[in-house]
Amino acid sequence: MDFQSEKQLVRDFYVALDAAPENELVAVMDRFVGTDYLWRGYHPFHEQSSGKAVVEQFWQPFRSAFRHMQRRMDIFIAGKNEIDGFKSTWVTSMGHLMGNFDAPWLGIPPTGKIAMMRYCEFHKVENGKITETALFFDIPQVMIQAGLQPFPRQTGAHLIQPGPATHEGLCFEPQDPVEGDKTLGAINFMIGDMGDWEGKEERPLEVELPRSWHHDMIWWGPAGIGASYTIEGYIKGHSGPFRDGLGTRHFNGHVCRMAEGKFGGFFGWPNLTLTPTGGFMGMPATGKPSDMRVIDMYRRDGDKLAENWIFIDLLHFWNQQGVDILARCREVGRT
């Protein structure tokens, strides 16, 4: 399959959604999404079961705050979902939603300046309609742009993150299926080779990571953790603190895992259940398990992974720990 009809549907949806005035957004959703629509979004939006609810809960408030919104895509791919035996077709896009941040959003004070929010979106397409969506976005990144500090000092670097180094991520045209198989294979090898989960031997990261990753890998992490460069930098900036600060780690599986060309990714709901045992993201130990919803997007180079963009619902994760980051933000906004 070349997935051209599914890709065109999502591209048409984006054109219509991004151009529509706020009072026409529901009509756009009705045109493109199915009657039994399921939308998954980060905290505080969670699951919505209709296009109208998505517009009222997310799109209208966001568009009211981010005036003249523009979608800036860096990756656009489609593929069959490995998780359901390659039965369903999904279309994925990643990039930034950009606008002039002119009104408060979720208690975050406006800057009156250009602002950009990282996003990644998975759409399940069936019979000419979008029937499921997972839209993950980096709200703490917006907080930092507004001058807030939602988390203690992060171990990586906070950046407006670029797309692939090769500038090949917009796969609007059909791709060689052999390349997609290679990418999915590289992702699966990396997942299966990770040795820090229940019942698996934990190898030193210096030994484990070079088996799956190029030495000059780039890990584009979420705000609150940050980005890291090279295997040594990744161990220092994320994977080491992750292992050290989260003592019990359980993998729950994925909803979708797919690839096309040299790009691929997955998401779960939730992917992981983790127990902070001290130090992770500068937060104290609680001994309480929390769920982590994650999207990972990858670029493969040869037989190894070269870049990884990560979206983690950190607001939901810490909210389960009793830390309401949005409430803290609103309190700062009132002072």
pLDDT in tens, 5-17: 999 999 999 999 9
Res. 335: pLDDT tops 60: no
Q: What is the mean pLDDT of residues 261-287?
A: 90
The per-residue pLDDT for 330 is 78
Q: What is the CA radius of gyration of the chain?
A: 19
The per-residue pLDDT for 128 is 97
The per-residue pLDDT for 156 is 86
pTM for the model stands at 0.95
The per-residue pLDDT for 198 is 59
Q: Which residue has better confidence, 198 or 293?
A: 293
The per-residue pLDDT for 203 is 81
**Residues 6+ positions from 300 with CB-CB distance below 8 Å:** 182, 183, 186, 187, 262, 263, 264, 306
The per-residue pLDDT for 197 is 57
Res. 237: pLDDT tops 80: yes
Confidence of residue 157 (pLDDT cuts 50, 70, 90): confident
Res. 264: pLDDT tops 80: yes
Burial class (CB in 10 A: 0-12, 13-18, 19+), 198: exposed
The per-residue pLDDT for 1 is 80
Domains, the chain: 4-145 (3.10.450.50), 177-334 (3.10.450.50)
Res. 277: pLDDT tops 80: yes
Res. 150: pLDDT tops 70: yes
CA distance 217 to 24: 43
Is the Cβ–Cβ distance between 38 and 133 less than 8 Å?
yes
